[in-house]
Amino acid sequence: MNWSWLLFAEVLYVILVVLVCMRVIYDTRSTTKTLAYLLLIIFLPVIGMFTYFSFGINYRRRKLYTKKLLMNEAMERSLHERIQSGSMEAFTRNSAVVDNNDRLFHYLLKEGSPLTGHNNVELLINGEQKFPKVLELLRAATHHIHLEYYIYENDETGNAIADLLIEKARQGVEVRFIYDDFGSHSIRRMLVKRLRRSGVNAFPFHKIIFIAFANRLNYRNHRKIIIVDGHTAFVGGINISNKYVNDAAFNNKLYWRDTHLMIQGPGVYYLQYLFLADWNFCAGDRLTVNEQFFPPPAALLQKEDKLVQTAASGPDSDNPTILYTILRAIGLAKKELLITTPYFIPGESIMEALIVAAYSGIRIRILVPGISDSLLVNTAANSYYATLLAAGVEVYRYKKGFVHAKTLVSDRNLAMVGTANMDHRSFDLNFEVNAVVYDMGIAEQLARAFERDLLDAERIDAAEWLQRPLYIRLFEKTCRLLSPLL
């Protein structure tokens, strides 16, 4: 009798494994990711199945965010009527600037992101430049302040901004704050409660509860956005934390190198749309397009005429827009690509695009961390370098500290700064946003910053890299097998 039950349990177990494997094959788009999950489920069935159901279900298909999508679409239709018609006018007026990247412009336009002109764009290096500007603009706010952050720390920097938010709320300014419940876990108990008591509307983007812990932990809001009165926005890689400020007063052990943008003008529109769509989802609100949130274009025009588009994607988008934007930018480059990323797990499509571009004579320089906050990710990233080096790509490892910037410069006429790393998580799992600036001045500034960073970096020598011990390369490639899951 006991043997019968054991046999029944074994048969049931095999059927369960087969069914889960069929689910993985049917539901997972990436071949490498599919194979990784299948191997994990077959060789470590219990752990593998838990990992897949926790982290692997394709919620872009499953429409976890169906309600959010419906709200986004309604707001987008209204926004489209107000500003979409201006995109072609901006393109025609500045065709000489956009011409080299017109296919990228048309792609993002099709994804709903308008091309906006008459913007002022300022490059901000590290927290030392970002936070003084942020505090200055927050103090000047008269109608609303919108913040959306992956990491917000309960430290001196976080509390300085929180104190100002509270002050502005008491003055009658509408303050709305979205935080990621995982990334900003340190503020949940005390700081968020203090903000709410003082009139600041604060909500987690997707509250982590035990039953749905793993999936909600996996799908994170990685965006860093501030919008002031609908006319100024901040976007980039810098979260709100002391560690982003290289000031002796904070006694940080590690130098933190990061990049942010301040945008003033109609380029703020799409970032505002993203914030309001996210806000309506997490707060259960019904904020709509109006002149307080979206001032008339005539009221926003700046003296400078920098062209800005926004690439945004997440589990609520039909396409991995940021991945496609980067692929399009690589494909359009004619002479040079400068890429900075803290996490380099590029996947097949990015790798192939870089290799083809390098073999086509384009000089490609990639800056990655020499010192990382993730040993596993850094080790997996190492496994990609040999192939790139063989194609002529120059890879540099930053030695001064941790480089956390996410930037791309193409031919010194296109600049991209945002929140997305060059990895699977940013392309397919997280909510991310990148600003795309068609401007030779900003591109040149970002290129000069890149070249300054190279002074604190070490170029990987291809011959020496290939001569490393076999056990190191084997370990790196073993970690690479897990890269679709990182």
Residue 22 lies inside a defined structural domain of this protein:
yes
Helix spans in 124-182 (H): 126-140, 156-170
Sequence-separated (6 or more) residues with CB below 8 Å from residue 241: 151, 152, 153, 155, 157, 158
Question: Under a CB-based contact definition with an 8 Å cutoff, are residues 324 and 312 in contact?
Answer: no
Q: Which of 307, 330, 360 is the endpoint of a domain?
A: 307
341 and 234 both lie in a single domain: no
Residue 76: per-residue pLDDT: 66
335 and 296 both lie in a single domain: no
Percent of the chain with pLDDT over 90: 56
The catalytic residue among 260, 404, 423, 428 is 404
Residue 444: per-residue pLDDT: 97
Where in the sequence is the domain holding 366, given as residue range(s)? Answer: 321-485
Residue 105 lies inside a defined structural domain of this protein:
no
Q: Is the pLDDT of residue 212 over 60?
A: no
282 and 210 both lie in a single domain: yes
Q: For residues 473 and 333, which has the higher predicted lDDT (pLDDT)? A: 333
78 and 176 both lie in a single domain: yes
Q: For residues 302 and 308, which has the higher predicted lDDT (pLDDT)? A: 308
Q: Which of 307, 332, 358 is the endpoint of a domain?
A: 307
The catalytic residue among 180, 181, 229, 258 is 229
Would you state the structure tokens that stand for residue 268, as one six-digit string? 């703020």
Give CA–CA dist 134/282, Å, rounded: 24
Question: Under a CB-based contact definition with an 8 Å cutoff, are residues 90 and 307 in contact?
Answer: yes
Residue 338 lies inside a defined structural domain of this protein:
yes
Q: Is the pLDDT of residue 193 over 70?
A: yes
What confidence tens digit (pLDDT) does each residue in 251-263 have?
A: 888 999 999 999 9
Percent of the chain with pLDDT over 70: 87
Over the chain, what is the mean pLDDT? 87
Residue 252 lies inside a defined structural domain of this protein:
yes
Based on its alpha-carbon atoms, the radius of gyration of the chain, rounded to whole angstroms, reads 23
Give CA–CA dist 77/291, Å, rounded: 16
Q: Is the pLDDT of residue 142 over 60?
A: yes
The catalytic residue among 33, 130, 168, 224 is 224
The catalytic residue among 181, 411, 428, 453 is 411
What confidence tens digit (pLDDT) does each residue in 441-457 have?
A: 999 999 999 999 999 99
Confidence band, pLDDT 50/70/90 cuts, at residue 390:
very high
52 and 125 both lie in a single domain: no
According to DSSP, the β-strands at 363-369 and 394-398 are parallel
Residue 403: per-residue pLDDT: 96
What confidence tens digit (pLDDT) does each residue in 143-157 have?
A: 999 999 999 999 999
Confidence band, pLDDT 50/70/90 cuts, at residue 85:
low
Q: Is the pLDDT of residue 363 over 60?
A: yes
Residue 64 CA: distances (Å) to CA of 49, 84, 212, 259:
20, 28, 12, 32
Residue 211: per-residue pLDDT: 40
Is 143 in a helix, a strand, or coil?
coil
Q: Which of 142, 122, 135, 133 is nearest to 229 (CA)?
A: 142
Residue 288 lies inside a defined structural domain of this protein:
yes
Residue 192: per-residue pLDDT: 96
Residue 106 lies inside a defined structural domain of this protein:
no
135 and 172 both lie in a single domain: yes
Residue 162: per-residue pLDDT: 98
Residue 315 lies inside a defined structural domain of this protein:
no
Q: What is the mean pLDDT of residues 153-170?
A: 97
Residue 213: per-residue pLDDT: 46
Residue 306: per-residue pLDDT: 92
Number of domains the chain contains: 3
Residue 143 lies inside a defined structural domain of this protein:
yes
Residue 365: per-residue pLDDT: 98
CATH of residue 426's domain is 3.30.870.10
Q: Is the pLDDT of residue 210 over 70?
A: no
The catalytic residue among 144, 406, 424, 439 is 406
53 and 136 both lie in a single domain: no
CA 320 to centroid of chain Cα atoms: 12
Q: What is the mean pLDDT of residues 118-141?
A: 97
267 and 369 both lie in a single domain: no
Q: What is the mean pLDDT of residues 208-218?
A: 53
211 and 174 both lie in a single domain: yes
Sequence-separated (6 or more) residues with CB below 8 Å from residue 347: 30, 32, 423, 424, 427, 483, 484
| 404 among known catalytic residues | yes
Residue 59: per-residue pLDDT: 54
Q: What is the mean pLDDT of residues 344-352?
A: 92
Q: Is the pLDDT of residue 397 over 80?
A: yes
The catalytic residue among 68, 130, 168, 222 is 222
Which of 61-75, 174-188, 239-253 has the lowest average pLDDT?
61-75
| 453 among known catalytic residues | no
Residue 383: per-residue pLDDT: 87
| 180 among known catalytic residues | no
| 334 among known catalytic residues | no
| 229 among known catalytic residues | yes
Confidence band, pLDDT 50/70/90 cuts, at residue 77:
low
37 and 90 both lie in a single domain: no
Q: What is the mean pLDDT of residues 105-115?
A: 90
146 and 35 both lie in a single domain: no
What confidence tens digit (pLDDT) does each residue in 1-60 have?
A: 466 777 777 788 788 888 888 888 877 766 767 887 888 788 777 777 777 776 666 555
CA 287 to centroid of chain Cα atoms: 24
Which segments within 333-392 are labelled E, that is strand? Answer: 336-340, 344-345, 363-369
302 and 333 both lie in a single domain: no
Q: Is the pLDDT of residue 284 over 90?
A: no
